[in-house]
Amino acid sequence: MNVIFLGATKGMGRALARRFAERGDAVFLLGRSEENLDKSAQDLLARGAPKSGHAYCDLERLEGFADALDAGIATLGSVDCVVVTAGLFATQDELERDAVLAARVLQVNFSNTVVFCEAARERLLAAGGGTLCVFSSVAGERGRKPVVLYGASKAGLSAYLEGLDHKFRAQGLKVVTVKPGFVKTGMTDGLKPPPFAGEPDEVAGIVIKAIDRGDPVVYAPGPWRLVMAVIRRLPRAVMRRVGF
């Protein structure tokens, strides 16, 4: 496959990009740091990617989305899959204290990511179809005390991705929504890992299989599907008393 990847220079994204490279997929990287992009592109070539390159793309700058995607298509020759793992995270306490930060998280994780996905959708459909894989979160499954604001941003994103899949699957666009639970990356440094916490490479293996199958929703690690099935069914009275 020819893959354009936003957010592949660290953490979960880096593990998934390496999986693509190791099986021989070409990967074009989008991100904010020229240094990190170049290092990551060279790493992917060393791991087996037949082609790699990179371009600047910042989820806080909508005006650059189209040019970044077009640069990837020009380098790869075509695009089969667009992957988005980029986003912002902060704890609920941090977001309650800092309204500016809260606005950034909500905008980047929801509205700006949607605008990027719309640009990717147009290009994939123009090429006859393909896969759009976007990382949302189990935090968006239900309103919960520890992730009120972050969870709201991911809930909106998940709803958009579901609607996109319903509308365009018949036209050849496969939308894969990834809902990770707690994964041990730089984003979660300093947070106490809950049961079923995952490692980046483990989650990457689950996700790449879901991309190949075109699964509309994937939970990773797997036990989170059952965990969230229980949480979705808890009465509000219970949710108000518990701390998760």
Cis peptide before 50 (omega within 30 of 0): no
* Backbone torsions φ then ψ of 173, nearest 5 degrees: -95, 115
CA nearest to 119, candidates 174, 74, 64, 158: 64
Interatomic CA distance for residues 174 and 81, integer angstroms: 9
Q: Which active-site residues does the annotation give? A: 150
CA nearest to 142, candidates 48, 63, 229, 36: 229
- The identity of residue 112, as a single letter, is N
Interatomic CA distance for residues 202 and 209, integer angstroms: 11
